[in-house]
Chain A
């Protein structure tokens, strides 16, 4: 099952990238995420591993994931190592006027689960899609607030100079 949501964030791409590249932020902006813990020494980048769980229905599902694609300020993709099969991808593109187009793609399932697997994917889709959509809204809010904070800091710095 595939889910895709996108939004335009009124902030430069670097700022969005820095935010999604920080594992500690995921529990703040990803709706339903109960764990996003770094596993191993690598905190981010290609090969970084995380134990992630998201509440869907009566269980927290997820597992160990690994970053399999990492293009600075453009693309970050992960795939599951253990747990349910999943692939996730952030795509960041310039949208002009200092804005960033953010796209999130998520595919999930359980290989070998047969017809009940397909049914459960369908049943879980509305809830999961809603959570991921809300996550992008939260991401947009958080990053745009961060941009405002940075701009305010710059203004203060400029006015404080003699």
Chain B
């Protein structure tokens, strides 16, 4: 549990990311093998920087990159139950007073043992659905139950990354999730990730994993049930206008930084908010979360299931639940 995981290889106690030769960006690229997206992104950034501003920019990116690589190491022991417990009141105040959070059917989550909770993701980079659900989970099962949330690399690389790690947030990768499940933990994953969380507000009631099926392989490999977690309301915390995938292409950051989305929204206090890199003040929309009954993939689809069929089933039951939750809402924000 205390092992440090880097790209599927483990070291004890967090040794330096790499001692190999080459420039820092090269070392970073090898160090973050477990986080290929960021590794690719920084590799692209290095090429971009070297091509445009020469070695200085490359060194700068490399310096930043080595710091980021350190933050992407997944040490499950970073999760601190006492820290979480002492911050439950803060989370409770935020969830209760600001988002009027309501989480239903937590009893659908198996009382003990590893489980993969699969959620639809909403609310931009501030992810109010995660705040509300994480509080509810920790209050219901107790902070003693190991619970990890998979997050985008850039979230953990941000200044709040160290804080989130204490809550059990680890960078999203198959290896990190498997490590947590093998340790008997509950793991929360949002397959739609950055794509779904920035979908337009008028698609609030749409489950959109963008075809990502990795969670199925993960659950099968670990032999754990999938518990769908459906939420509504997050997309009302700002007016999300577009994923900005075309803008990302136009500016070339899809190739240079491998950013497939550059979301555009209207949000407080920025007005027009491009990228949502600094977050925003979320509107106090009511967040409702519902936990659905567990899905045992092998029991329901056989020993060698078709991932496409499982994907369609999981997203189907989640969409049905989301339609129902959306139909309950009478007014935007108010719920």
Contacts and interface: CB of A to CB of B under 8 A. Distances in A.
A18 to B, nearest CB: 29
A60 B89 contact: no
A119 B142 contact: no
Interface residues of B, number: 25
A63 interface: yes
A66 to B, nearest CB: 14
Size category, A interface: 20 to 34
B37 to A, nearest CB: 33
B241 interface: no
B100 A84 contact: no
Interface in B108-157: 132, 135-136, 139-140, 142, 144
Given A82-B142, A83-B142, A110-B86, A58 B92 contact: yes
A58 B103 contact: yes
A53 B140 contact: yes
B255 interface: no
B132 to A, nearest CB: 6
B86 A123 contact: no
B89 A59 contact: no
A119 B93 CA distance: 8
Contacts of B87: 113, 116
A57 B95 contact: yes
Q: Is the interface of B mostly helix, strand, loop or mixed?
A: helix
A61 interface: yes
B142 A63 contact: yes
Nearest to A60: B140
A59 to B, nearest CB: 4
B142 A60 contact: no
Interface string A138-161: 000000000000000000000000
A113 B106 contact: no
Interface string A38-56: 0000000000000001000
A116 B90 contact: yes
Interface in B71-110: 82, 85-90, 92-93, 95-97, 99-103, 106
Contact of B89 (A62, A63, A82, A117): A117
A59 B86 contact: no
Contacts of A110: 85-86, 88-89
A112 B93 CA distance: 16
Q: Is the interface of A mostly helix, strand, loop or mixed?
A: mixed
B142 A64 contact: yes
B86 A120 contact: no
B142 A58 contact: no
Contacts of A58: 92, 95-96, 99-103, 132, 135-136
B103 A119 contact: no
Contacts of A119: 89, 93
Q: Which of B99, B102, B139 has the most CB of A within 10 A?
A: B139
A59 B287 CA distance: 12
Interface string A112-130: 1110110111011000000
A120 B92 contact: yes
Given A59-B135, A60-B106, A123 B85 contact: no
A123 B90 CA distance: 12
A116 B89 contact: yes
29 contacts: A53-B139, A57-B92, A57-B95, A57-B97, A57-B101, A58-B101, A58-B102, A58-B132, A58-B135, A59-B92, A59-B135, A59-B140, A60-B139, A61-B92, A62-B139, A83-B139, A84-B139, A110-B89, A112-B85, A113-B87, A113-B90, A114-B86, A116-B87, A117-B86, A117-B89, A119-B93, A121-B89, A123-B93, A123-B97
Given A59-B103, A60-B139, 11 more contacts: A57-B92, A57-B96, A58-B92, A59-B96, A60-B106, A60-B136, A61-B88, A61-B92, A82-B144, A117-B86, A119-B89
**Complex A-B, nearest 5 residue pairs according to Cβ-Cβ distance, in ascending order:** A57-B96, A58-B101, A120-B89, A59-B139, A58-B95
